[in-house]
Amino acid sequence: MPTVDLAFRLMGSRIPVDHGYALYAAINRVVPELHDAQDIGVHPIRGRFDGNGCLVLSPTSRLIVRAPDDRIREFLKLAGKTLEVDGNRFQVGVPEVRALRPAAALSARLVTIKGFMATEPFIEAAKRQLETMGVTAALQSGERRTFQIKDKQVVGFELLASELDAEDSIKLQEIGIGGRRRMGCGVFVEVRSDDKKTLSKE
């Protein structure tokens, strides 16, 4: 089945920068099917950093669920609901369906691979995952990041995949790299060429 992005409008003021696990838990209360779904990804919500550990939501901020199109109906239940993420409440609006588009360069804000917390071993592990899925790409790691799951800090890296052909680009968006895709990790989106400057070469 084709994979698509289901993008919901958001009405609220702010959300924590580190919101992956809390957002997953909030969605799961409305859509319990998310709990064990290995084919679902949830994008990190974008906003403007306020300097106090939160993102200020804007009119373009979206809750985006990446899912096979035969699972869209499960997530339509989110429309009209109010979600609470670490004490911050926002209302979920009407969604739109966005087809995945091929792009030569894709990035993920955070990729986690269990057991790999240093840059070079992490890149090698990511390359092995690409080989397993039959994708050819050049990889560059960026900022080392952490995020909270209950009382545990998980380590990962920003990751850029470039030199992708159209088929491999779609496949990488559908499958991702690493784990915890339901918590915002390993979800790849198109990047502009200027964005590559923020990533260190490996």
- Whether 149 has a pLDDT exceeding 70, the answer reads yes
Q: Which residues of 187-198 are buried (b: 16+ CB within 10 A; e: fewer)?
A: bbbebeeeeeee
- Whether 192 has a pLDDT exceeding 90, the answer reads no
- Whether 202 has a pLDDT exceeding 90, the answer reads no
* Nearest to 161, CA basis, from 120, 122, 127: 127
Output the pLDDT for position 194: 47
* Nearest to 40, CA basis, from 28, 55, 26: 28
Global pTM reads 0.91
pLDDT tens figures, 19-64: 999 999 999 999 999 998 999 999 999 999 998 889 999 999 999 9
Cα 167 versus chain centre, distance: 20
